[in-house]
Structure 1
Amino acid sequence: MRQSKVPLIVSLLLVSGLSLANAAYDDPNVLSVEKEGGKSVATYSAQELTKTFPPKIIETNTPWTNGAIRRYRGASLKEVLAKNGLSDATIIEGIALDDYQAKLEMNEINTFDPIIATEIGCTDADRSTTVCATGQEFRPLTDADRGPYYVVWPYDQLPKASDPGDNSRWIWFLVALRPES
């Protein structure tokens, strides 16, 4: 199971006096869509992604929610790729802030229509701690939720992996998408 290195990286950078500006993708709040060679064709903030693409909701458990069903809202990954000229790619690489990379097969993207989640459904616990207001349905993903961008799949619809520990298609702290080079 992949463990996030982002808090550790941030801590090490702060202790060493460096900043995330030294990283290849220095702003976790910007999602870059790239063509071959890493050339950016579009960038999106969470607000821009929400304005540009119709919201889609996936209600699912994940490999990390211990069977609890959570609601995620965001843009369809396949629609983002299509709008930016990447729907003909066979493999899409998703890159996370901590330099984690995963290869996503376009046939699986087309079949299961995952989202680039930017929001998570409010829970009673969120409302009791005023993270969500009464009646608020969703809130932005935080670092603790693996946001601000998180590739979320309909878990129960996915084929069972030959290795149950292989959850590489779930990319949190997503910062870039590009065709496999």
Structure 2
Amino acid sequence: MRKDFSLQQRITATPWSGKETTEFRGPLLKDILARNNIAGARELEIRAYNDFMARISAAAIEDYSPILAIEQRCTEDDRNQSLCEPNQTFRSLSIDDGGPFYLVWPLTDLPASYVPGRNSIWVWFVVKVRPI
């Protein structure tokens, strides 16, 4: 995926992390949709490995530019646990991090009506994206 798409960085908290932020990196979801000729869909189904499914409008994707995160910035704790080499900046998302593909939104940019009622838009372990 790295060679096919420009990776974007998002520093954001998640609905479950309180105020703690993480820096994620991955391609824009709208770029993936465009590359696969499904950018014109009005609504999408994002399915997780455990069969969880979220419906997301194309308008929300356009307005908030979520990324399909594949990496997160290494922390000192990651280095202490040997998850990152001393000079490594990012590491692949593990299953425990919501990876290998995690749909990440800019939490502070989302309208209040999205939180917590729309926490379902944060899909981890994404396995399928399809138009509805």
Give TM class, smaller chain: over 0.9
Question: Structure 1 residues 101, 59: closer, same or farther in 2, change over 3 A?
Answer: same
By how many angstroms is 1:165 displaced?
A: 4.4
Corresponding residue for 1:61? 13
Equivalent of 1:107 in 39, 54, 59: 59
Amino acid at match of 2:59: N
Spell out the pairing of 1:13-52 with structure 2 (5 A cutoff).
49-52=1-4
Q: Which runs of 5+ in 1 are unaligned?
A: 1-48
Number of aligned positions between the proteins:
132
Matched, 1:147 2:71: no
Deviations 1:134-180 (A, max 9, x none): 12111000011011000000110011126624301100010000001
- TM superposition score normalised by structure 1: 0.70
The root-mean-square deviation of aligned C-alpha atoms, in Å, is: 1.2
- TM superposition score normalised by structure 2: 0.95
By how many angstroms is 1:59 displaced?
A: 0.6
Question: Structure 1 residues 63, 53: closer, same or farther in 2, change over 3 A?
Answer: same
Q: Which has the larger radius of gyration?
A: 1
Corresponding residue for 1:137? 89
Matched residues in 2 for 1:69 and 1:63: separation?
10
SS of residue paired to 1:78 = helix
Question: Structure 1 residues 146, 163: closer, same or farther in 2, change over 3 A?
Answer: closer
Q: Which runs of 5+ in 2 are unaligned?
A: none
- In percent, how many aligned pairs have the same letter? 39
Equivalent of 1:96 in 34, 43, 48: 48
